[in-house]
Amino acid sequence: MRHIARLVAVISFVAVTAASAAGQSKPDSLYKRLGGYDAIAAVVDNFVPRLVKDPMLGKYFVHSQDTLMHIRQLVVDQICAATGGPCVYIGRDMKTAHEGLGISGAEWDTAVKHLVATLDQFKVPSTEKDELLKTVGTLRADIVEK
């Protein structure tokens, strides 16, 4: 009986130690490394106006101020959720949302340049910037139509 009790104690100790060690080695999410919700919102607050003012992209943002604020919030929520944050993106999927707009590869590239400029303005470290751009890049096929 003592042997079983000792065996259970050893197994419990090993399990607790392994779980504790695993928790310590888990890297922070991209959401956390970007600075969380407020930092993402600040980036979006800089990025979306760049798109709106761009001569090539502005035609896609001819909306009321209320609608632009809704778009801004959807972008914040989408980035927050995609980077491991607590947000829930409730917008349409990207293919449905951009269908029929005829967005070109050049227009996509221009939008990405604006995002890079925004991330550089906020001095986002290259590792996090590259990871975010890779995440955003997965949306290209659903947004670009020509």
pLDDT per position as a tens digit, 21-61? 455 667 899 999 999 999 999 999 999 999 999 999 999 99
Which range among 16-20, 27-31, 42-46, 113-117 shows the weakest confidence by mean pLDDT?
16-20
Q: Which two tokens stand for residue 17?
A: 């130690």
* Cβ atoms within 10 Å, residue 7: 10
Amino acid at 108: W
Provide the pLDDT confidence category of residue 13 given band limits of 50, 70 and 90: very low
The domain segmentation of the chain, as residue ranges, is 28-143
- At the fourth CATH level, the homologous superfamily of domain 28-143 is Globins (1.10.490.10)
pLDDT of residue 23: 52
pLDDT of residue 8: 36
Quick check: 40 and 79 in contact, CB under 8 A? Answer: yes
| % of the chain with per-residue pLDDT over 90 | 81
3-state helix, strand, coil in the chain (%, to 5): 75, 0, 25
pLDDT of residue 5: 38
Q: Measured between alpha carbons, how far is residue 140 from residues 11, 36, 79, 105, 133 in Å?
A: 49, 24, 15, 9, 11
